[in-house]
Amino acid sequence: MTPTEEQEAVIYAEERVVMVEARAGSGKSSTLRMLAESRTRDKILYLVFSKGNQLEAAGRFPGNTRCMTTHGLCWHHAVRMFGSDQRARSKTGKTYASTVAKRMGCTALMATAALATIDSFCGSRSESISIAHVPEKFADRIKPVDAVVDLANGVWRCMLDPSDDMKCPHDGYLHEWAMTRPKTKRYTRILVDEFQDLSDLQLQMIEDQPCSVTAVGDPHQQIMQFRHSVNGMQRMEAERHLYLTTSFRFGPPIAAVANHILRELRLECRPIVGAGAEPSHFKVDRSKPYAVIARTNAALISHAVALLNDARPLNFVGGVGRYRLELMEDAFRLSRGERSNIRDPYIRSFGSLGEMEELAEQSFDPELALLSRIVRDYGEGVPAVVDAIRAKAAAAEGKDIRKLNVVTLGTCHRVKGSEFEQVVLADDFASLIDRNGVPLKPSRVRDEDVNLHYVGTTRARSGLEVSAQLAEWLNHPQVNGRHLLTQ
């Protein structure tokens, strides 16, 4: 592969800290691989977002590069914390609210709040848990909030105790290791991918290192705030800023829509150049494989239900288990007054389906609203619907979906980093028009909402069907984007 001028600038940059903004489909992984291949004398650490990314990179990068996740990098600290590799493996993982409630003698809601508070704390630079770490949705429901902090501290102590069976989250040992402010002497250069989605704690770890750092990411793809990510692209000082703006994924028509979103709503002045090998257009042939991408699990499950009469298998990105179909079953049990059989503590905290519906309406919670709607629409048939979705998902699991005519389903958060030949965007994205029918100014749109529109739009290689919200915005006379969808 012959690098572009933009890629060459990244490959041969000599500054100690280099920040690279890489737009969707711009070949950032290939660029970093070429960088590693050109620096044979360097000992390089490549930090990636997930285990899957790590395994893929390990097979492509040269021998001078060690590919790791941040959790893998500090696993030795978990072993030291808990006494042995075997004990660390049995001691780390997910702790369920039901375990905390039974152990600590509290309600399921309190247990859920405490675990969410610990999760927030583990992504921060803080040395101790405080009210600042209690998520707003729990702080609004539980008074006094100090009680949540006290419970979280008690649970945290159990998690850190090697002799206690309460599991420590993986972010827990990462936090404890980061608090020692470790500095590497083994590597001369660190490459960091998805830099926009690092937690504040992970950002501190990178800032502390004395070696050269090349950080790559796209601030317009920062959509992991629910996992306490911060935009490291803006927060870390760099000696040189570079850009990868040529997308090899899609052609000019999709690039034009992505550029319109970023220019009008993020005031981005560097356009994406669409250089995909296949022509792009705004139609989807649903007789062929395509992907449905939604903002929320709620809309995705609605599409899955609508596809039950389609004979094709359903391929859920990340596996169907990640989309929590059991919540539909729990909402069904709530409607029947079978609260003792409800597994999810948050659903169990409601006294009735009506109470859950009331909160869904007050808080504009689409997940709760969907659960309620499914129960109202399908009644006694809810268990059968759930079973049917699982059966269609099972038909695709373990198969090479490239050889199957399947419908792929995933949320923006699950499909980030992926691409599909054809994409249908669900109609659950944030509206970009106010109640008076006027396009929203950039200051009135959450960055995350704009980023979700951008991420969804840029997953398609050729065919794209935009969401109703994006179409409404592009077609508005003041936005002047109607012509973009006719290309």
Q: Is the pLDDT of residue 439 over 90?
A: yes
Most confident segment among 210-214, 225-229, 233-237: 210-214
- Residue 346 pLDDT grade (very low, low, confident, very high; cuts 50, 70, 90): confident
- Residue 446 pLDDT grade (very low, low, confident, very high; cuts 50, 70, 90): very high
pLDDT at 228: 72
Please name which of 310, 11, 57 lies closest in space to residue 189, comparing C-alpha atoms: 11
Q: Is the pLDDT of residue 362 over 80?
A: no
Q: 473: how many CB neighbours lie within 10 A of its CB?
A: 24
Q: Is the pLDDT of residue 278 over 90?
A: no
Mean pLDDT within 20-39: 96
- How far apart are alpha carbons 479 and 375 in whole angstroms? 39
Q: Is the pLDDT of residue 423 over 90?
A: yes
Q: Is the pLDDT of residue 363 over 70?
A: no
Q: Give the three-state DSSP class for 445.
A: coil
- Residue 21 pLDDT grade (very low, low, confident, very high; cuts 50, 70, 90): very high
Q: Give the three-state DSSP class for 461.
A: strand
Alpha-carbon distance values, 236 to 20, 44, 232, 354 (Å): 12, 20, 6, 47
Structure confidence by residue, pLDDT tens digits, 152-161: 999 999 999 9
Main-chain phi, psi angles of 439, to 5 degrees: -60, 140
DSSP 289-300: -EEEEESSHHHH
Mean pLDDT within 213-218: 96
Structure confidence by residue, pLDDT tens digits, 73-86: 999 999 999 999 99
CB-CB contact of 305 with 399 (8 Å): no
- How far apart are alpha carbons 202 and 74 in whole angstroms? 12
Residue 101 vs residue 189, higher pLDDT:
189
Structure confidence by residue, pLDDT tens digits, 119-128: 999 999 999 9
Percent of the chain residues past pLDDT 70, beyond the cut: 98
The mean predicted confidence, pLDDT, of the chain is 92
Mean pLDDT within 93-111: 86
Mean pLDDT within 56-68: 93
What single letter denotes the amino acid at residue 187?
Y
- How far apart are alpha carbons 372 and 328 in whole angstroms? 9
pLDDT at 268: 94
- Picking from 97-101, 240-244, 466-470, which range would have the lowest pLDDT averaged per residue? 97-101
- Picking from 257-261, 359-363, 413-417, which range would have the lowest pLDDT averaged per residue? 359-363
Mean pLDDT within 331-353: 89
Mean pLDDT within 408-418: 91
Cα atoms in the Cβ-side hemisphere of radius 13 Å centred on 67: 21
Mean pLDDT within 241-252: 96
Q: Is the pLDDT of residue 364 over 70?
A: no
Q: Is the pLDDT of residue 337 over 70?
A: yes
